[in-house]
Homo-oligomer: A and B are copies of this chain.
Amino acid sequence: MNRDSTKLIALDWGTSSLRCYRFADFGRVLEQRSFPLGILQILRSSLATDHAERSRAFERAFSETCGDWVDAAPRAALIASGMVGSDLGWREIPYLRVPIDCRRLGGSLGEVRSSVGKLVHIVPGLMELTTLPNVMRGEETQVVGALSASSRHFLPEEFGFEDEFLIGLPGTHSKWVFVRGTTINHFETFMTGEVYGVLCEHTILGRTMSHRKNEADYSSFDRGVHVAKEFIGENGFLSTIFSVRTLGLVGDLSPEQQPDYLSGLVIGDEIATLIRLQTKRRDVQHTRRRPILLAGESSLCARYARALAAYGCADVEFAANATERGLWSLAEQAGLFSSDSEESIKNS
Residues of A bordering B, CB below 8 Å? 15, 40, 43, 87-88, 127, 129, 131-135, 173, 188-192, 194-195, 198-199, 201-204, 207-208, 227, 231, 234-243, 245-247, 249-250, 252, 266, 269-270, 272-273, 276-277, 280
Contact = CB atoms under 8 A, between A and B. Distances in A.
A249 B280 CA distance: 27
Contacts of A243: 132-133
A133 B235 contact: no
A263 to B, nearest CB: 13
B191 A202 contact: no
Contact of A276 (B135, B207, B234, B270): B234
A195 B199 CA distance: 8
A132 B198 contact: no
Nearest to A44: B207
Contacts of A43: 207
Contact of A270 (B88, B134, B236): B236
A51 B132 CA distance: 48
19 contacts: A43-B207, A88-B204, A88-B207, A88-B208, A127-B250, A131-B231, A132-B240, A132-B243, A133-B246, A173-B242, A189-B239, A189-B242, A190-B238, A191-B241, A194-B203, A195-B199, A236-B276, A237-B238, A237-B269
A49 to B, nearest CB: 12
A249 B203 contact: no
A15 B247 CA distance: 19
Contacts of A242: 132, 134, 173, 189-191
Contacts of A240: 132
A250 B132 contact: no
Contacts of A195: 199, 203, 238
Interface-central residue, A129, A241, A242, by most chain B CB under 10 Å = A242
Contacts of A129: 250
In the A-B complex, the 7 residue pairs with the closest CB atoms:
A236-B273, A237-B237, A132-B243, A133-B246, A190-B238, A198-B198, A198-B202
A203 B198 contact: yes
A246 B132 contact: yes
Nearest to A174: B238
Contacts of A266: 238
A220 B186 CA distance: 27
